[in-house]
A and B are shown apart, each in its own frame.
Chain A
């Protein structure tokens, strides 16, 4: 069975709580990514920052990115997956939390990579098992639908089930 480390991107980038949003946006610009994990001095994941978070913070506070701190904006409750976890567990987390990317950590919570929905889609498309994979849980379109569902609708569906 494939594990997250077989599919994830091992290219590690991050920012710190005391960085400004300008520093986080610089990483997004240079890495062409929309999501930057926030780590402590031990490189343990303590938050996550998206380009949308930065946009909404600049709008709601009426400030430039250099005037805003990551610590005030980033999400502190971070869904992660651990080294050795199955892809089925990772896609379940993405669908449930409605997120497209998961930081991958070692057993001590230190950042070692990122796993995206695109990584999973590419893997399943090219795997021998085909787009439904050997997971037996969901296929990618189902996960994508769950991730993309408007929050209000998703909450109602969650209550209904």
Chain B
């Protein structure tokens, strides 16, 4: 089984110039807890989770609309290609979790992200 058979397509992403309000809006509307952050050229530059938003609002004492996603997002993004075997992603076949979790800066699967 390959990643493309299990992944969720049509992922919504947040522009890097957006605020946490926009990221939270996507999480609310799509019922998800994690949003990729992309540049204008659909390059993935980070990821923000619902926990990141809560912790940022707590630490900074601000509303989501007052905090930029760039301040909060994780910049190290582990990604895999659609053709990667699921076993490699899970690290169950070779016991090396990071073997096929490539750090990439571009969304490979066409249509995998629509921002």
Residue positions of A touching B, CB distance < 8 A: 22, 25-26, 28-29, 34, 51-52, 54-56, 58-60, 62-66, 150-152
Contact = CB atoms under 8 A, between A and B. Distances in A.
6 contacts: A51-B51, A56-B27, A56-B28, A58-B24, A58-B53, A152-B31
Contacts of B31: 150-152
B65 A62 contact: yes
Contacts of A64: 57, 61-63
Contacts of B20: 59
A25 to B, nearest CB: 4
B93 interface: no
A59 B54 contact: no
B25 interface: yes
Contacts of B55: 25, 28-29, 51
A62 B57 CA distance: 11
Given A64-B62, A64-B63, A54 B54 contact: yes
B21 A59 contact: yes
A52 B31 CA distance: 11
Give the top 8 A-B pairs by smallest Cβ distance, nearest first.
A59-B24, A25-B58, A55-B50, A51-B51, A51-B54, A54-B54, A52-B50, A55-B53
Interface in B18-64: 20-21, 24-25, 27-28, 31, 33, 50-51, 53-55, 57-59, 61-64
Interface string B53-92: 1110111011111000000000000000000000000000
A65 B24 contact: no
A52 B61 contact: no
A47 B78 CA distance: 35
Nearest to A26: B58
Contact of A59 (B33, B59, B61, B64): B64
A52 B58 contact: no
A21 B39 CA distance: 32
B50 A25 contact: no
Interface centre among B20, B27, B58, B61 (most CB of A within 10 A): B58
A29 B58 contact: yes
A97 to B, nearest CB: 17
B102 to A, nearest CB: 24
B27 A58 contact: no
A138 to B, nearest CB: 19
Contacts of A54: 54, 57
